[in-house]
Structure 1
Amino acid sequence: MTAGQGQGGTLPGTAAWHALVAGSPWLVPLLCGLLSMLAGQDLNWDLQNYHLYNPHAWLTGRLGIDLAPGQWQSYFNPAIDVPYYLAFTYLPGWLCSFLMGALHGLNFPLLLVLVRRLLPEGGGAHLPFWLAAAGCAGPGFLSGLGNTMGDNLTALFVLGALALLLRAPLRAPLPAPSPASLPAPLFVPATGQILLAGLVMGAGTGLKPTNAVYALALCVALLVLDGPPARRLRAAFLFGVAVLAGIALSAGHWYWTMWHQFGNPLFPQFNDVFGSALAPPIGVGDTGWRPRTLMEKLAWPFLFTLDPRRVCELPLRHLAWPVLYTAGIALLAALAAGRRRLAAIPREVRLLMVFGAVAYLLWMNLFSIYRYLAPLELLAPVLCWLVLAALLPGRRVLAAWCVGLCACSFVTVENWGHAIGVKPLSVEVPALPAPARSIVYIVEAPAGWLVPFFPPEVAFVSLGAGFPESPGWLRRAAAIRASRPGPAYVMLPALRGEPDLQRAAATLQRYGLALDGDCRPYRVSAGRAVLSYVFCGVQPR
């Protein structure tokens, strides 16, 4: 009996399996596209709030017409959402979903490249495939597959920067450390690699600023390169400069627009620094997810694995985090006690370990929002493998079981909202007799996604719907109202079939407005989902 027969026709070692693994860099993105298409059009809360509105407002020049229909997120850099908006506008919904899923699936070939460069002799034929597949089986990645939140999308930039830095020839396994051992070959990325990696990382950070934790983590990790301190500092400095250049390329235009329009390039965030009159002097940030005490910080991976809602609205439980955290602490203890030698850990692996540790600490202390861990979740299985291999050399079976345990986390996957079915998004826009003279108030989010379906002459103004208002903001809202003497309206969702008119009336009352009793229902259809809204008249009190 031959080896292939002994394994069976479709098991690893056969020609079919080898062909599948060889074609996986193309097949996995296609599979991700199909899964996204089957899930249906993206319908997550953030999409309904601002992911459709922001690119629409930018491309159609609405920045000086509206006031925050998508809450304070209305002023995020819209460049990241332009590809989806254009696909949504000009392509069938199912094709739009497929393309977004396939784009997210490109994280797999990037992971594959990284794993092959980190493992001795490339890790063989199958191990890189399994580690990359386990990375893409994480609950965070799968829950965001094909949606517009940007976490899976900008993970491409983080993994791409790492792949560029680790573009070094594959090495043979290092000899066991001993006085007679020869020194390992130097791992020193070329200046061009460092600059290009920084540019890519910066571009991802400009598109989604939460990626700044990964930019800073990789900058710190470059300090573990070979050579004298001056060389390492130079590498970190060049990387940092390139990151700033990448941010300028992907977000500089938007920061300039915000500065020109509002006097704050990050409006309304960090307004305690820039002092725009249209927002109060606050930093703006969602800090409610972070651990509250030192003991919680020390046990954080265990706590948010046991109770995922500590870091996420969805119960996304990934078993990699307690495994990786425990193994990482054990490796540090072994190095401190002298039972393991740092020189036995390849420099490339050391760089990735430092990157992962610093990125996790920054994430925990700044955000602790699970979605922002997307790049680290993709890297978690290979990091588990590398840490366990350094801690327990030769115990590949134990490492394999731990990585397999990580991959099993996909059973906890939920999603952020999809419209099942192929029917495209459609809105029954109420008839407006004088759109150029009209204003529509938004007092309850999310509603920004409906703006593109209304006549472009209508102005939309948010009141009491999540934007940090200031006296200057209220003056701007009053000026818009004064310039539009025609009919005024308020747009409300009809949850469980009935709008909350009492709450809307209370909100409008604070601004000297009142409902006039004329309410007209209309529907929003996406796939098989039907959402109900009402459009009510508004008048001065």
Structure 2
Amino acid sequence: MLVDAGRALMRMPDLRSAVDRHALPICLLLGAIGALFLRQDSSWDLRNYHLYNVWALLHGRLTLDLAAAGLQSYFNPLLDLPYYLLGMGPLAHLPRLLAALQGLWYGGMVFVLLRIAMRLADLQGRAFGAGDLFAVLIGATGTMTVSQVGLSSNEMPLAMLVLLAVYLLLPLCAEDPVERAAQRVLLAGLLCGLAAGLKSTAIVYSPALACALLVACVGRAGTWRLCLLFVAAASGGFLAVYGWWGVKLWSLTGNPVFPMFNQVFHSAWLPPVSGTDIRFLPKTAGQWLFYPCYWVFKNQWLVTETRFADPRYALAMAALAVLAASAWFRRKQPAAGGRALRLLAVFVVLAYVAWLRLFSILRYVIPLEALTGLLLLLAIQALLVVAGKGRSSRSWLAWCMAGIFLVSVYCSHYPSWGRADYADTVFHVRAPAVEPGSTVLLIGQPLAYIIPFIGNAESSQFIGLTSFNQHAGNYRLNALVRERLHSHQGPIYALLESNVASGAEALQQWLPGAQFAGQCEVVSSNLHNRRYDDANLRLCRVLQH
């Protein structure tokens, strides 16, 4: 029966009408169901800063607290507002509904990817078919993509914005002039700029897409003007959502992107270093050249913290090589949709190179993962032309893409970033109160998400004692921490998740002679991931000599 259904799908002359009618509700429904099935987010980032940063914004804590969530305390909190406001407000007692709503981002991203595939088929002058559908499925089932469904890390809305920008620019690759080309370019640039402003890890996509547009439309009148419009719109979008936050950081620290790129801005708070996470950068010449080939088999701490395997990236690298060779040998007779092919290929290559140099953290590259299936589709088309499968190319294409899809899913190992079973409330956190006017020290990470649930939190100050402080050395940040501790006249508490003995040892580095008073109180949380944490969360009163 499954074989017959597969053959029927391969024989379908055109899926376009069915996709046009039903794609959006189906994509959104699958996204909601997928997020609901995967359960509630309890990832490290959520517990570290996604909740705390919004609480700090709403309560004006930027100048009151000191790095309570480590270096992430100074990230733009704007994108975290919806999840926080819904989870702490109208959906506080409806955790499943909140999870389903978070899954809509994935559904929206898949729908945009589907529209890109349809537009690409139009530009090639052919009908949208089963091969295109499998190309979308290959990208939509990538390990980073699926593992991020429903999470508050916001990789999915960023991916949707970037892919939507690609979709808007594809019509410019048509042979005939496109109406409202400037409007398309302006909107695409705005979307990329918004993505970069909302989360700095998306900064690689704007310049990559601007260069891809230039290469795809080279030789046409007005191309430079369109590229400049794109850059202007991207800059405007970035400033619209990040400018206000950059001004706050500049006023406080002297660095508008603090703590990043401090080797450029030289804030007195930190040493002149970049601040970016370099743990996952390639370490050998082989990795720099063929990093995706290392991800085919199960690995951990290579380009991500958790164990995973994914062949899509290596297959996409091979597809790019095939496309480059095909373009060279057919340079006198360019293939249909050649400009669109150049747009996608140049965008993926440039964004990948920038990502490789800056981050090499795989979950930041979901827009490229989503496009891997389309790159494979284009490469298979080129190979079928060489093999002389002209008349039966559509059937061959569908079967090849179906096989690649099955192999990709079978060989993938999907990572887990931390999920929790549903509780009565979204954030089922029970923390004791501290005395008004207290100083609360957060020893280690991730702990800052507890702060909004501590009694009298608004009248207290919170100071993070983390590895971020250790890297600050003798600079202004650590001087401020010591000034606050030695000038404080009220009660002092310590929030920790390690055992009390190790917490007391860490405390000695900042308050020599201090000790915990009596029995520490336990903090309960439905987000506390006991697979990684050695003990329950505790809030301890600190006594100083």
Q: Shorter-chain TM-score category?
A: 0.7 to 0.9
Relative to 1, partners in 2 of residues 1:241 and 1:11: Cα closer, same or farther, differing over 3 Å?
Answer: same
Does 2:327 match 1:323?
A: no
Kindly indicate whether residue 448 of structure 2 is the aligned counterpart of residue 445 of structure 1. no
TM-superposed CA distance for 1:376, in Å, is: 0.7
User: 3-state DSSP class of the match of 1:435?
Assistant: coil
Residue 260 (structure 2) aligned to one of 246, 249, 269: 269
Deviations 1:256-276 (A, max 9, x none): 111122221111112222222
1:1-53 Cα distance to aligned partner (Å, 9 max, x none): xxx9x9669964799x9868841321122221122123222100011110111
Q: Do the aligned partners of residues 528 and 70 (structure 1) sit closer, same or farther apart at CA in structure 2, a change above 3 Å counting?
A: closer
Match of 2:390 in 1: none
Question: Helix, strand or coil for the counterpart of 2:462?
Answer: strand
Aligned to 2:98: 96
- Within a 5 Å distance, the mapping from 1:317-396 to structure 2 comes to 317-337=309-329, 341-342=333-334, 344-393=336-385, 394=393, 396=397
Give the deviation of 1:503 after TM superposition: 2.6
Matched, 1:86 2:78: no
Question: Any idea what the Cα deviations from partners look like across 1:154-212, whole Å, max 9, x if unmatched?
Answer: 1011011111112469x7xxxxxxxxxxxx54679711111110011000011111111
User: 1:228 and 1:9, CA in 2 relative to 1: closer, same or farther beyond 3 A?
Assistant: closer
Residues 249-258 or 159-168, more deviating: 159-168
In the alignment, is the contact (CA less than 8 A) between 2:186 and 2:229 conserved in 1? Answer: yes
Counterpart amino acid of 2:542? V
Query: What secondary structure does 1:306 align onto?
Result: coil
8 Å contact kept, 1:440–1:489? yes
Partner of 1:162: 166
Q: How far off is 1:406 after superposition?
A: 5.9
1:516 aligns with 2:507: no
Partner of 1:486 in structure 2?
490
- Look up the match of 1:179: none
After superposition, what is the alpha-carbon deviation per residue over 1:424-452, rounded to whole angstroms, capped at 9, x for unaligned?
222222232x222x111112111011111
Q: How many angstroms apart in 2 are the aligned matches of 1:151 and 1:122?
A: 33
Structure 1 residue corresponding to 2:231, chosen from 236, 240, 245? 240
Secondary structure, counterpart of 1:299 in structure 2: helix
- Contact in 1 for aligned 2:12/2:130 (Cα 8 Å): no
Q: Give the CA deviation at 1:143.
A: 0.5
Between the aligned residues of both structures, percent identity stands at 31
Change (3 A) 1:471 1:358: closer
Instruction: Map 1:181-200 onto structure 2 (within 5 A).
Output: 184-185=175-176, 190-200=181-191
Match of 1:117 among 105, 108, 119: 119
Equivalent residue in structure 1 for 2:279, among 288, 291, 295: 288
Corresponding residue number in structure 1 for 2:543: 539
SS at 1:466 equivalent: helix
TM-score normalised to structure 1 length: 0.87
CA contact (8 A) 2:516 2:541 kept: yes
Question: Hey, what's the Cα distance between the residues in 2 that align with 1:262 and 1:268?
Answer: 9
Shift of the 189–351 alpha-carbon distance from structure 1 to 2, 3 Å rule, reads: farther
Distance 1:221 1:8, change over 3 A: closer
Query: Unaligned regions of 5+ residues in structure 2, if any?
Result: 386-392
* Residues paired across the two proteins, number: 516
Partner of 2:388 in structure 1? none
TM-score normalised by L of structure 2:
0.87
CA positional deviation for 1:341: 4.6
* CA gap 1:356/1:23 in 2 versus in 1, 3 angstroms: same
- Is the Cα contact below 8 Å between 1:70 and 1:446 reproduced in 2? yes
Letter in 2 for 1:351: L
- Residues in 1 aligned to 2:187 and 2:227: alpha-carbon distance in whole angstroms: 13
Instruction: State whether residues 155 and 363 of structure 2, in contact with CA within 8 Å, keep that contact through their aligned partners in structure 1.
Output: yes
Given that residues 172 and 217 in structure 2 are in contact (C-alpha distance below 8 angstroms), is that contact kept between their aligned partners in structure 1? no
AA aligned to 1:74 is S
The equivalent position to 1:258 in structure 2, one of 244, 249, 255, is 249
Letter in 1 for 2:405: G
The alpha-carbon deviation at position 251 of structure 1 amounts to 0.9
Please state how far the C-alpha of 1:351 moved relative to its aligned partner. Answer: 0.8
> Bigger CA drift: 223-232 or 342-351?
223-232
Aligned residue for 2:432?
A: 430
Distance 1:368 1:348 in 2: 27
Q: What amino acid sits opposite 1:195 in the alignment?
A: L
